Each structure stands twice: as structure tokens, then as C-alpha cells.
Amino acid sequence: MKVSIIGATGYAGSELISILYKHPEVEIIHITSESHTGKKISEIYPHFTNIFEKELESLNDIEKIGAESDFVFVALPHGHAMDVGKKLENLPVKIIDLGADYRFRDTSIYEEWYKVPHTHKNAPRVYGLAEIYREEIKAAKIIGNAGCFTTASILALAPLAKHRLIDTSSIIIDAKSGVSGAGRSPKLGNHFPELYDNFKAYNVAHHRHTPEIEQAFKDLSGEDVIINFTPHLIPMSRGILSTCYANLKEDISAGTIDAAFQKMYGNEKFIRLLGRNAYPETKFVRGSNYCDIAWHIDERTRRVIVLSAIDNLVKGAAGQAVQNFNIAAGFDESTALDRLPFYP
């Protein structure tokens, strides 16, 4: 398969190159960057030196790029993929957007939360969370790759929502992310003296991943869902730990909870069920496409607390995109994704 990466110099774009370079069925034919056009990718990321030295192109030739590609990965901030999608809509190329432009079926929700007009409302799109939407992804023209916080949070509670074991009106999600999730562009809040030895919440009650999580839980449970989602920033490069709370319905036993996770994820390659009363850690999934999940039952409050850990740049971005690519292209889902976590 001939693939191209639009926005190759962000952290997610760099991670895509690292994964796809080792994919036995892929040739990377175009990589783009508007800020570094004409430079080699190894000038921006020296770890590619003497390994992958392709020159960065401009998006001005997007129609040519699309015509020469089987798949185009768009690793740009929200608001940019729609233009790519419109220009390529009459070509046979498939699009995997790592941003938010194609994650919502209802584009008015996108416009409300992202404050950007949606200019490709009628585009055929599928939400790209492989473990839940696998069948739809197989035939998709455009795949809206799931976000990083959303991947960790949706996967944590999906079995309980699907089997209606929890009160979906009671869901509270408390998630922490490493700073790479904020992207490569310098920002004051990510400046080392601001970030080091610090821990903070942000965008309380207003984070843009909130409606994305709600959309998936509605699909799973068949109920309208409104959640509380609070993200936090922690002073590390990679990783997300999501702690998810929900009230159990009447007469739901611990064994029923265990069985729901096993039934949904028992055969999933990239979900590792650590079981009841275990504790996932970000270091145990670092650099990998795995999502580690464990759950605890508070008998006193009749709540279930589910913990999930992912690498935000892999399972939360580039790895998930390649997993979706493998599904849509008809390859084994784990191709190029079976690398072990980095440790320590």
C-alpha cells in the first residue's frame, strides 16, 4: 500500500513514520509540512538519520498526493482535515484523520465544542476506535481516529455500558496525560519551569473530548449519556491514566463485572485485562499499542472504578491509526504494532 502522511513533523506524525516504516506492506511515498517544506525529516527529527530521510513537501499538491496514495493519514490540528477530505472526496484514496474533524456524526456537536464551522458535513465517516467499530472501519472512506483521552476512557467503561451494568448518568472520568498530548508547538504551560514538579487540572467541564466519549457510550448503551470529564497534565512525556467511576445497577455482582470485561475483550490483541483489584501503570504500556485495564468494586458506595493506561502517542494516536489502517486495508490487525513497551 502506498501511504502519505500530512503533517509529518508533529509528535503523532513522527510516531506514524516510526510505525509505518517497519510495516511490511507499506511504502511511505509523501510526507508534508508547511513549516519545514524542502527539509528532510531527519533534520527535524535526528533520530531518523540514515534510516528515513524523505524530504517534506507542501500541501499545495494535495490532489497529486491523494491520486498517488492508497491511504492518506492526516496528522494536523482540528479544522484542517476537512479541506483535505473535500479535495480528495472524488478519488479512491482512503483518509485516516488523527484530528477531530471526522469524529462526530452530528457536526453541530463538533461546531459547538471546537468553535469551527464544519465544511464537509456530508462526508461518509466512521469513528476510529477499532475494538468497538471494527466492522464499520473495514469499509470506511474516512476514519476519524479516536482521541487519546477518549480511547483510554471509552475502552475502560465500554463493557459495562454495553451490557447495561452501570447507571450511565453517573459516569465521572478523571484522566491524566503526559505533555506530548499537547503537541510539539511551544506553549507557556508546557515550558519546563512551568511544568516541572507540578500537577494541574485544566478545561474542567469544557474539554473537547467530552462529547466524543458521550457519543460512544450512547452507541454502546442505547441511552443518552452526559458525563463529567476532568483532564490533568502531569510532568512526563508519554502516557495516559484514566480513572473512571460509575454507579452499579441493582444486584450486579463482581462476577458479572468480570465476565463483561472478559466477554468483550478476552480475544482482543491490544487490550490487556489485568483483572479485578489490579493497578495499571503508564510505564507498562509506554511506546506500545496496548491498553491495560483493571477494575475495582467499592461495595460501600456500590460504585465500580475502572483504571486504564495507554501511551497517548501510540494507542492514543498513531498506533490506533495504523490499527485502523490494517483493518481497512485487510491486513492482520497487529501488523507493525507488535512492539514491546519501552521499559523502564
Q: Is the backbone of residue 251 left (phi > 0), alpha (psi -120 to 50) or beta? A: left
How, if at all, do strands 125-128 and 142-145 pair? parallel
Catalytic-labelled residue, pool 6, 148, 248, 264: 148
Element (H, E) at 304: strand 303-310
Locate all alpha helices (DSSP H) within the chain, ordered by sequence. Answer: 11-20, 41-44, 62-67, 81-87, 107-114, 130-138, 148-162, 192-195, 210-221, 254-265, 319-329
280 vs 283: CA distance, rounded Å:
9
Which of 274, 338, 290 minimizes the C-alpha distance to 282?
A: 290
- What value does the CA radius of gyration of the chain take, rounded to a whole number of Å? 20
Between CA 302 and CA 264, with CA 295 as vertex, the angle to 5 degrees is 110
332 vs 334: CA distance, rounded Å:
6
258 vs 278: CA distance, rounded Å:
12
| 73 residue type, one letter | F
- Distance (Å) of CA 46 to CA 9, 76, 122, 298: 12, 21, 41, 49
- Known catalytic residue: 148? yes
Q: Which residues contact 172 (CB under 8 A, 6 or more apart)?
A: 227, 228, 229, 244, 245, 246
Which residues does the annotation mark as catalytic? 148
